[in-house]
Amino acid sequence: MMMRRRTTLLAGCTALVLALGATACGGGEPVAAGGGDKALGGQTVTVAGVWSGSEQKNFQKVLDAFTEKTGAKTQFVSTGDNVSTVVGSKIEGGNAPDVVMVPQVGVLKQFAGQGWLKPLDEKVQSAVGANFAEVWQNYGSVDGTLYGLYFKAAHKSTVWYSPEALEQAGVTEPKTYDEMLKNGRTISDSGLAAFSVAGQDGWTLTDWFENVYLSQAGPEKYDALAAHEIKWTDPTVVDALTTLGKLFKDKQLIAGGQKGALNTDFPGSVEKVFGPKAEAAMVYEGDFVAGVAKDQFGRTIGTDADFFPFPPVGGGEAPVVSGGDAAVVLKDGKNSEAGMALVEYLASPEAAAVWAEAGGFLSPNKKLDPSSYGDDVTRATAESLIKAGDSVRFDMSDQAPAAFGGTKGAGEWKILQDFLRDPSDPRKTAAELEKAAAKAYGN
């Protein structure tokens, strides 16, 4: 979701790649899309996605590199958060984009189920098979058919902190969830709240839950719950809500208490830790926190803003929850063949290197040279994601139907906001989650 940058020898290397169609800087085979011979000249590829601001600007650099390589022009349309509604209306109006950057597995499945998508061709399948772990291929597939190429990823198991705040409180990076809460109380005793929680944005609360649940219940239960093969009233869900509730109800740990958290959006939660008037020492969210801390508040990543992995809960393994944006090709697009060539390009380490250089980006492409990233912290985050391989689990709410896992003021987002407001009855919350999930999944 967010931002960063770098300029050094990679810029020259990227230019060389674009000029020669070579594979230095990232390994892998040359991209066949145009082969650098401007074979798609005169065509325009329309791309729709949620990105705006810095993210849109940086993705445009990737699109410009594709244009330089193939001659195809590109046009990006920002959809806002409700991708499915916007794309559906464009299809109905006879103005379908060629490629959509889909931010949720559930939406990808929805698009495939409605017959909107072209399966990715053999060239793209070959590139994906060579460059991506099987888990990313699975998340891009529906009923065994590959429709989506995961170009951009998020590492959602990172807790960001002010090194100065932890040092002043005399605590170090925790090794367990319980130790993290214990350290938080020590920080609070020193005069600064432990955590800034972005309760105004329901998606951040789903991320909190998913990390606790994956670690505490394990990957098999996580997969089953994500597919609604077990109910949200399952004891493992109640246990995870109980664990999370210990944090939510502890006014000593959360900046502004529950009311303050419910009035804090995601950028505001980062500001409370890294802004000019710090109110908290730590903020949990994905790697994109670094972009806000750096670009909006001038923090130097690795010096006065750092992270530790979300710690294991209750004797479980440390979780690695991810998210991402998948490129899909629409059947009704006017230039779907050129769109397929764009997706083939996006599957290459060459394309990933362009945005990695610009910053605010993680790639699930295992062939991307880690030196492409502009700082040690981003590089470490990216390497952690790649190292996790097939143990990565995609954001559970993003796998759900949008009505349950991706709609503001409804479903899981709303129910977990209510739980933050009053975490006293985890079983009641689990029952409400199950009722909403059953309606959305249709079972």
Question: Distance (Å, rounded) from C-alpha 281 to C-alpha 262?
Answer: 18
Task: Report the alpha-carbon distance of residue 232 to residue 440 in Å, rounded.
Answer: 13
Do 355 and 58 touch, CB atoms closer than 8 A? yes
100/83 Cα distance (integer angstroms): 9
Beta bridge partners of 417: none
Question: Smallest Cα–Cα separation from 133: which of 291, 324, 318, 312?
Answer: 324
| CATH architecture for residues 158-319+400-441 | 3-Layer(aba) Sandwich (3.40)
pLDDT reported for residue 365: 97
> What is the predicted pLDDT for the residue at 36?
56
| 115, 147 contact by CB (below 8 A) | no
Which pLDDT belongs to residue 2?
37
* Domain residue ranges in the chain: 9-155+322-393, 158-319+400-441
pTM for the model: 0.81
Tell me whether domains 9-155+322-393 and 158-319+400-441 share a fold: yes
Residues 88 and 115: their CA atoms lie apart, in Å, by 12
Residue pLDDT, tens place only, 56-109: 999 999 999 999 999 999 999 999 877 888 999 999 999 999 999 998 888 899
Report residues of the chain scoring pLDDT below 70: 1-37
pLDDT for 37: 63
Locate 214 and state its tokens.
Answer: 């994956």
Q: What pLDDT is attached to residue 27?
A: 39
151-197 residue pLDDT tens: 999 999 999 999 999 999 999 999 999 999 999 999 999 999 999 99
Q: Using DSSP, state whether 3 is helix, strand or coil.
A: coil
Q: What is the CATH code of the structural domain delimited by 9-155+322-393? A: 3.40.190.10
pLDDT for position 8: 32
Instruction: Tell the burial category of 229 from Cβ atoms under 10 Å away from its Cβ (0-12, 13-18, 19+).
Output: exposed
- Give the pLDDT score at 313: 97
Q: What pLDDT, on the 0 to 100 scale, is given for residue 24?
A: 34
